[in-house]
Amino acid sequence: MKKSVILTLVIFVLMSMVMAACSGGGATEKVNLNEATLEQIIEGAKKEGHVESVGMPDSWANWGETWQELTAEYGITHADTDMSSAEELNMFENEKDAPTKDIGDIGLGFTAEAITRGLVQGYKTSYWDAVPDWAKADDGMWMIAYTGVTTFIYNEDITEEQAPTSWADVRNGTYKLTIGDVIGGATGQANVLATAYAFGGDMDNLDPAFEFWAEMAKAGRIDQGDILLQRIQAGEVQLGVTWSYNALTYRNETPNYAFTVGVPSDGSILSGYASVINAYAPHPYAAALAREFIFSDEGQINLAKGGAVPTRTDIVIPKEIQDVTIQQSQYANSIPIKDAMQYAAVGKEISARWEAEIIPLMSK
């Protein structure tokens, strides 16, 4: 009799363990953030007490000031792990049974994939109507808070060449280029697309871009490292190509070198990065509040301070900020990217062609 009771207890314990394992081990109960009031979002975020981001480091678009102000106003702590757009989405998926990340910032070209793979959840924010339609998805599955433009950052102290003002200058010079990850990074892919426009191509014709990059690869002029603040500060980047807000931040945070920062006159892309809330976020209310703050007046002006262009149509950027960032006249001829689906398809084509056509040339 005792044996049967013990056996029953053992079976019960084992079944409980199996059920616990199947419940998602650390995954939080789903909430519909769009059905919550702002007061409920704030209350829930304060209870969660923390927000974990990916691809939103302090040095990118002045995120550091935004995170500091979020903590000061609501008492919510923050940590970030920097990574590319593709890596962000893969982390959301790989960690779905034991999630650690709440919110990310991905290139426009990765937004369709994020929805298709079921990796994001919606939150529309109270500023929804002030955000243009091209900068947001249905139900707030993604929202673009800011845009930037393709920009050169040239270290004047480690070379004797004149700073280039166009891709044509680059082609005719000996500059070594650092453009970021092209396989899985939105920045690198946008830089390649910018060269398509520079040399007579467009989204439907990438051949001019790949002819240019094949030349650069054969000449050993492509730096295979990423374009990071640490590398800029160490003098490892001669000519970097990145978004305007990053170029300005890198320049401002590297006083040991002199830089020329400018938009290439013959080929530049104007595009944005979209905030995405992890479908499996362990702190969903904190993620929603972070997005809310990013689209607030304070959050939008913080992005402007970093050299980004806020997407809210009713925001007035103070003159003192406009005076120290890239002027609109410099990117008057830049190509605005507003079709997320087309941009996604082009990004995939660039990634595949870079892997097949350019990487083999760099390894020779």
pTM > 0.85: yes or no: no
- Between 59 and 291, the higher pLDDT residue: 291
Q: At 201, is the secondary structure helix, strand, or coil? A: coil
Chain centroid, CA 197 distance in Å: 22
- The DSSP-derived string for 33-98 is GGGS-HHHHHHHHHHH-EEEEES--TTSTTHHHHHHHHHHHH--EEEEE---HHHHHHHHHHTTTS
What's the whole-number mean pLDDT along residues 81-92?
96
Residue 263 near residue 331, CB atoms below 8 Å: yes
pLDDT at residue 298 is higher than 80: yes
Q: Please list, in sequence order, all residues whose beta carbon lies within 8 angstroms of the beta carbon of residue 116, skipping any fewer than 6 positions away.
A: none
- The DSSP-derived string for 140-168 is GS-EEEEEEEEEEEEEGGG--SPPPSSHH
pLDDT at residue 290 is higher than 60: yes
- Ordered structural domains, the chain, with CATH: 34-147+272-322 (3.40.190.10), 148-268+331-362 (3.40.190.10)
pLDDT at residue 10 is higher than 50: no
What's the whole-number mean pLDDT along residues 97-114?
96
Nearest 5°: phi and psi at 363?
Answer: -90, -5
- Cα separation, 286 vs 123, in Å, equals 12
pLDDT at residue 14 is higher than 60: no
pLDDT at residue 181 is higher than 60: yes
pLDDT in tens, 112-142: 999 999 999 999 999 999 999 999 999 999 9
Residue 312, Cβ neighbours under 10 Å: how many? 19
Q: Counting runs of H as helices and runs of E as strands, what totals does the chain give?
A: 15, 11
pLDDT for the residue numbered 28: 52
pLDDT at residue 4 is higher than 50: no
Structure tokens at 61: 């678009």
pLDDT in tens, 209-265: 999 999 999 999 999 999 999 999 999 999 999 999 999 999 999 999 999 999 999
- Cα separation, 109 vs 337, in Å, equals 9
pLDDT for the residue numbered 29: 63
pLDDT in tens, 44-79: 999 999 999 999 999 899 999 999 999 999 999 999
pLDDT at residue 342 is higher than 90: yes
Which amino acid is residue 229, in one-letter code? L
**Percentage above 70 pLDDT, the chain:** 92
**Percentage above 90 pLDDT, the chain:** 81
- Four-CA torsion 117, 85, 330, 160, nearest 10 degrees: -150
Q: How confident is the model at residue 332 (pLDDT cuts 50, 70, 90)?
A: confident
Q: Please list, in sequence order, all residues whose beta carbon lies within 8 angstroms of the beta carbon of residue 317, skipping any fewer than 6 positions away.
A: 301, 304, 310
Structure tokens at 149: 């433009």
pLDDT for the residue numbered 177: 98
For 41, 91, 110, the CA distances from 117, given in Å and listed in that order, are 26, 12, 11
pLDDT at residue 331 is higher than 90: no
Write down the mean pLDDT value for the chain: 91
- Between 13 and 62, the higher pLDDT residue: 62
